[in-house]
Structure 1
Amino acid sequence: MPRVVPAVIRALDILELFLDRPQLSAREVAERLDLPRTTVHELLVTLVARSYLISVPGQPVRYRLGMPLFQLGAAFAGRLDLVREAQGVARDVAAACDEAVHVAVLDGADVIYLVKVDSTHPVRMVSGVGLRLPAHCTAVGKILLSGLDRDGLDAVLGKGVLPGMTPESITDPDRLREHLEGVRADGVAFDNGESDGAMRCVAAAVRDHSGATVAAMSISAPIIRWTPQAHAEWPGLVREGAATLSARMGYVTQP
């Protein structure tokens, strides 16, 4: 197995310290990594020479991240393809539960499905890539709506009665806002026959490098296969899938 270079590992350890601190001193770096100050000094000098770190103006013994790291991050983000990454993760989730898995994004008051991986069962969900549905009637839509701030949500919902797709659809905006508070707290959303009376869904958020909710992933199944065991297991499975896709989109879980 190829040997890792200790100095490179230490340099990367230093840069990663700045993920949760905008500025650090040489002493703080040494204490956090439990390294000799002379070693830290040499590494900092090297990182500053390449502009990966810069001295804080007026505080030369304190450092912050430099522009090359932004350029690298922007290059990484620019090469990310949500659909391509989502297809691979959705296939893995679908293989684990043998049910339909979708990835969708918000477009105004609707969701648009970007990815679908079907189950192998003869009875399956009728849907497809490009399908547009009212967000408030779907599990993926509820997740995406729950990621909006108050003004954004108000702009989407308006003040009038929301259109329903089944008798179970939530059509009262105030009731929906209350429902979305629970979605935010739980981290998952359910569609209990609100878009199709014969189907059930559970969804979780997909986040990008900034932590913003950019998509949602769901598992959907006919009510005949939505057993108590499935209801207990699939929320965790879709959380894991959404977390995997989020990591591929550059999201770093906060400690």
Structure 2
Amino acid sequence: MGRNVPAVSRALDILELFLQQPLLSAADVVARLGLPRTTVHELLVTLVDRRYLVQVPGQPLRYRLGVRVFQLGSVFAEQVDLAREAQLVANDVAIACDETVHVAVREGRDVIYIARVDSTHPVRMVSAVGRRLPAHCTGVGKMLLSDLSPDQFDSLYPPSTRLASMTPNSITSAARLKSVLKQVRQEGLAFDDAESSEDVRCVAAGVRDHTGAMVAAMSISVPTTRWSDGSRAKLMDLVRDGAARLSDNVGYRTPAGYGAPPDRHASRP
């Protein structure tokens, strides 16, 4: 194993401060990291020289991130394989709960499953990567639909639209779906209450990429015989954590942690 290089660690500590605040002074860095002023000055000069930081015009003692950080981030974004990352995280979540875990993306009114890990229980949900289902009948689908703007929603589901049902519990009207999506946004979770299969319930959370867009959703599916208030609470926590970890792996960040991201639409459906 190699040795941790203190100077490199300190330089990275400085860069990571900008994840919480876009502009910082040398004094801010000294106060937050507890480093000597001389050390901070030398590190800042080096980071500016290498274009990882730039001095703010008209405010020479304040700094912001430089173009080199953007260039590295762009290379990272190009290399991210959502399906591969989804499979890795889904596997960990499935080990934690021993239930079936899915990750899906939306295409129009449907969702397509891009990752799946099965439960080891004899009774489990039968599914497949590549399977397509109506978004309004699934937890992952409702989660993804909740990120639409009002105009996008109305274009996809005009007010008079009658939605196909998969079970007696399926949502069949655009108005009802719109109401459910409002609750999904408030809770940050979506549920499938035996709406795609009468024998299965699930809970889902959204996955966001480096742009803040919801690009996928993760769900945990459970036979109704194993669904209870206790298991529901545990699965809610696990799917939140799993979706947050996958979001992190594909570049999403928020200064306040994995809470709700800023609302990108003035109003919602």
Same fold (TM over 0.5): yes
Q: Which runs of 4+ in 1 moved over 4 A?
A: none
- Whether the aligned pair in 1 keeps the contact of 2:19 and 2:255 (CA below 8 Å) is no
Q: State the match for 1:93 in structure 2.
A: 93
Q: Does 1:108 align with 2:108?
A: yes
Q: State the match for 1:195 in structure 2.
A: 196
- After the TM superposition, which residues 1-255 of structure 1 pair with which residues of structure 2 at under 5 Å, given as runs? 2-159=2-159, 160-255=161-256
Indicate the RMSD between aligned Cα atoms, in angstroms. 1.8
- Superposed CA deviations along residues 146-187 of structure 1, whole A, max 9, x for unmatched, are 122323222222222222222211122222222112111212
Amino acid at match of 2:133: L
Task: Please state how far the C-alpha of 1:253 moved relative to its aligned partner.
Answer: 4.4
Q: Whole-Å Cα distance in 2 between the matches of residues 210 and 158 of structure 1?
A: 28
Normalised by the length of structure 2, the TM-score is: 0.87
Q: Whole-Å Cα distance in 1 between the matches of residues 120 and 246 of structure 2?
A: 23
Normalised by the length of structure 1, the TM-score is: 0.92
Task: Please state how far the C-alpha of 1:22 moved relative to its aligned partner.
Answer: 2.4
Q: Whole-Å Cα distance in 2 between the matches of residues 134 and 12 of structure 1?
A: 45
The 3-state SS of whatever aligns with 1:22 is: coil
The 3-state SS of whatever aligns with 1:164 is: coil
Task: Please state how far the C-alpha of 1:238 moved relative to its aligned partner.
Answer: 1.5
Task: Please state how far the C-alpha of 1:210 moved relative to its aligned partner.
Answer: 2.8
Of stretches 33-42 and 230-239 in structure 1, the one that deviates more from structure 2 is: 33-42
Amino acid at match of 1:56: V
Task: Please state how far the C-alpha of 1:113 moved relative to its aligned partner.
Answer: 0.6
The 3-state SS of whatever aligns with 2:104 is: strand
The 3-state SS of whatever aligns with 1:70 is: helix
Identity %: 63
Q: Whole-Å Cα distance in 2 between the matches of residues 20 and 229 of structure 1?
A: 36
Amino acid at match of 1:188: L
Task: Please state how far the C-alpha of 1:2 moved relative to its aligned partner.
Answer: 4.3
- Superposed CA deviations along residues 174-216 of structure 1, whole A, max 9, x for unmatched, are 2222211211121211100111112111111112223321111
Number of aligned residue pairs: give it.
255
Task: Please state how far the C-alpha of 1:97 moved relative to its aligned partner.
Answer: 2.2
Q: Whole-Å Cα distance in 1 between the matches of residues 122 and 36 of structure 2?
A: 64
Amino acid at match of 1:238: V
Q: Whole-Å Cα distance in 2 between the matches of residues 187 and 175 of structure 1?
A: 18
Q: Whole-Å Cα distance in 1 between the matches of residues 167 and 255 of structure 2?
A: 38
Distance 1:136 1:58, change over 3 A: same
The 3-state SS of whatever aligns with 1:71 is: helix
Q: Whole-Å Cα distance in 2 between the matches of residues 123 and 29 of structure 1?
A: 55
Q: Which runs of 5+ in 2 are unaligned?
A: 257-269
Amino acid at match of 1:72: L
